[in-house]
Amino acid sequence: MHLLTAEEMQKLDRKAINELGIPGVVLMENAGLQVVEAIYRMIGDPKGKTVTIFAGKGNNGGDGFVIARHLINAGADVKVMLLAEVKDITGDAKINLDILQRMGQKLHPVINPNSLNIVKLAMVYTDLIVDAIFGTGFKGAVPDYIGNVIEIINTSGKPVISVDIPSGLEANTGKVHGPCIKAHVTVTFAHPKLGQFIQQGPEYVGELTVADISIPPDLVETQGIKRFLITPGIINKIIPVRRRDGHKGTYGRVLVVGGSAGLSGAAAMASTAALKAGAGLVTLAVPAGLHDLMEVKLTEVMTSPLPETDAVSISVDALPSVQKLLEGADILALGPGISTHESTVAFVRQLLPVLQRPAVIDADGLNALVDAVDQLKECPAPLILTPHPGEMARLAGIKTEEVQNNRVEIVLRASQEWGTVVVLKGYRTLVAAPDGTLYVNPTGNPGMASGGTGDVLTGVIAGFLAQGLTPLEAAVAGVYFHGLAGDLAAEQKGMLSLVAGDLLEFLPQATRNFS
């Protein structure tokens, strides 16, 4: 499912109007009707109920006038709060306002702070609030008096439905710079907008419905948009069907290189996750001092000892051993629990320039590259990097706050500069490819903010990569199933006590309908 910016949606509207000949007033009518259908789902038959519509001066307000007309015809008591001067309403919005006025509908101007009492009174008696103030073109902060109106709406305790996007939310960035409508339901038109899924967007959107307003779905394909929401449909297309004559070699061999004193669990979880994601064979290579422990702990995963430092971490002397192990592997997962010991960092930096197998690099595998990210360009093998915001900040030489405030821009830039697929973990995990493709993952929950969940993700992505998926496909499938396993675990166990091992437990349930 494509995720559009405001400008891309406006361009799509223009193409529908100018090239296909669909009048703008028809698109507005269809938009209003779709919101009316959603209102029926929210409150049932509106006959005899009071609906208060807040309308701005643009096309979003025009949608509000269409909604008002149809609700009046259905027998609702409709109050239209106009947050603009009538003279400022033009185009298709004016056509629908004129119709509404000819029907005898009264307008209640709300154009300055002195109008707030009428808003407060309306909130006492209304059954539903329709937010049609600002559309997807809105940027910045709302004017003060409209901000006061929004605060009254948000504290009214009444259900709110937003038209296309909650007023005060930026469609491109998902950022909120002041008061913003907190919708219970948002009906967005034709395609979802990027800002509805990133940053603060999901806090304000509520339940999102994507409504057809008669713009042909394939029209967006002509726009070259490379921004997507990960959906079950996308996952179904990339997950390979298991062959009837398949064997363990068919589904790939993963080598996990990880572990150090005190961090052995990270390596164990990553290797187990690779198996549970469908890899045929998984070998875990750890410092020699941890080998016997891993032999006992892991049943299905093979193990191999590596030369170690005095601190029981992987030594730079392990490079020949790892190269030998890679001859019998298809994929490398590097980093879970390896530590930042000086010798271990040297091992990572010497391995990358000679690496001949696609690899997933995480955790201290990434930290080993701080101040040495140019080595990513020198690596001859395809790479997937899976940093959390702190790791991304260290790699990019910026502050974590800057990463969090500009997640989309940062991950796309990093992917293009480093020539790798980059997975920026966190709320609404992002997957970026060097060609500018971006995927936003909708699965996952706050209960997954627990040590070890990132190690599970590393293994899951490596497991899919071993089965023949491209690096981008493996990353997309990995983050989706990782988050879905977390959601299923949260349903059964709650978020508070969720741990990384729960993701391993629920991975089979997450993937069962896709394999």
Q: Which of 160, 193, 225 is the last residue of a domain?
A: 225
- Residue 344 CA to residue 318 CA, distance in Å, equals 9
Q: Residue 314: inside a domain, yes or no? A: yes
96 and 156: one domain?
A: yes
Burial class (CB in 10 A: 0-12, 13-18, 19+), 71: buried
163 and 253: one domain?
A: no
Per-residue DSSP letters for 302-331? EEEEE-B-TTSSB-GGGHHHHHHHHTT-SE
Q: Which of 193, 225, 257 is the last residue of a domain?
A: 225
190 and 270: one domain?
A: no
Res 466: pLDDT: 97
Helix (H, G, I), strand (E, B) or coil at 42: helix
Domain that holds residue 348: 249-511
318 and 395: one domain?
A: yes
pTM of the model: 0.94
Q: Residue 181: inside a domain, yes or no? A: yes
> Is 130 within 8 Å of 3 (Cβ atoms)?
no
215 and 284: one domain?
A: no
Q: What are phi and psi for residue 432, nearest 5 degrees?
A: -120, 145
Q: Which amino acid is at 285?
A: A
133 and 266: one domain?
A: no
Question: Cα 88 to the chain's mean position, in Å?
Answer: 37
DSSP 8-state code for residue 301 = S
450 and 355: one domain?
A: yes
Kindly report the CA angle at 53 between 48 and 56, in degrees rounded to 5?
A: 165
191 and 278: one domain?
A: no
Residue 266 is part of a domain; what is its CATH number?
Answer: 3.40.1190.20
Do strands 383-385 and 359-361 pair parallel, antiparallel, or not at all (unpaired)?
parallel
Q: Residue 235: inside a domain, yes or no? A: no
Q: Which of 225, 260, 275 is the last residue of a domain?
A: 225
> Is 383 within 8 Å of 471 (Cβ atoms)?
yes
Q: Residue 241: inside a domain, yes or no? A: no
Strand order from edge to edge, sheet including 383-385: 227-229, 438-440, 430-432, 421-424, 383-385, 359-361, 331-334, 253-257, 281-287, 302-306
Res 168: pLDDT: 98
256 and 221: one domain?
A: no
Spatial neighbors of 374 by CB under 8 A, at least 6 apart, are none
- Residue 355 CA to residue 311 CA, distance in Å, equals 25
DSSP 8-state code for residue 88 = G
- Residue 268 CA to residue 286 CA, distance in Å, equals 10
Instruction: Return the axis-axis angle of helices 319-326 and 342-351, rounded to nearest 10°.
Output: 40
3-state secondary structure 149-213: HHHHHHCCCCCEEEECCCCCECCCCCCECCCCCCCCEEEEECCCEHHHCCCCHHHHHCEEEEECC
Q: How many domains are contained in the chain?
A: 2
Q: Residue 239: inside a domain, yes or no? A: no
Q: Residue 236: inside a domain, yes or no? A: no
Res 354: pLDDT: 96
Burial class (CB in 10 A: 0-12, 13-18, 19+), 106: exposed
Q: Residue 294: inside a domain, yes or no? A: yes
Q: Which amino acid is at 512?
A: R
**Termini Cα distance of the chain:** 21
Torsion of CA 153, 156, 157, 159, to 10 degrees: -40
> Is 460 within 8 Å of 503 (Cβ atoms)?
no
Spatial neighbors of 261 by CB under 8 A, at least 6 apart, are 287, 289, 290, 311, 312, 313, 339
Helix (H, G, I), strand (E, B) or coil at 85: coil
**To which residue do tokens 């701005």 refer?**
56
Kindly report the CA angle at 413 between 437 and 231, in degrees rounded to 5?
A: 30
Res 495: pLDDT: 96
> Is 463 within 8 Å of 280 (Cβ atoms)?
no
Burial class (CB in 10 A: 0-12, 13-18, 19+), 257: buried
211 and 279: one domain?
A: no
Q: Residue 289: inside a domain, yes or no? A: yes
Question: Cα 74 to the chain's mean position, in Å?
Answer: 38
439 and 324: one domain?
A: yes
**To which residue do tokens 């509106």 refer?**
46
282 and 404: one domain?
A: yes
- Residue 89 CA to residue 60 CA, distance in Å, equals 11
Rg (CA), the chain: 27
Per-residue DSSP letters for 380-400? SS-EEE---HHHHHHHHTS-H
> Is 53 within 8 Å of 130 (Cβ atoms)?
yes
Best CA proximity match to 443, nearest among 458, 455, 431, 459: 431
Can you name the residues that pair with 77 across neighbouring β-strands? 50
pLDDT in tens, the chain (515 residues): 899 999 999 999 999 999 999 999 999 999 999 999 999 999 999 999 999 999 999 999 999 999 999 999 999 999 999 999 999 999 999 999 999 999 999 999 998 888 899 999 999 999 999 999 999 999 999 999 999 999 999 999 999 999 999 999 999 999 999 999 999 999 999 999 999 999 999 999 999 999 999 999 889 988 889 999 999 999 999 998 888 888 888 889 999 999 999 999 999 999 999 999 999 999 999 999 999 999 999 999 999 999 999 999 999 999 999 999 999 999 999 999 999 999 999 999 999 999 999 999 999 999 999 999 999 988 999 999 999 999 999 999 999 999 999 999 999 999 999 999 999 999 999 999 999 999 999 999 999 999 999 999 999 999 999 999 999 999 999 999 999 999 999 999 999 999 999 999 999 999 998 86
Residue 195 is part of a domain; what is its CATH number?
Answer: 3.40.50.10260
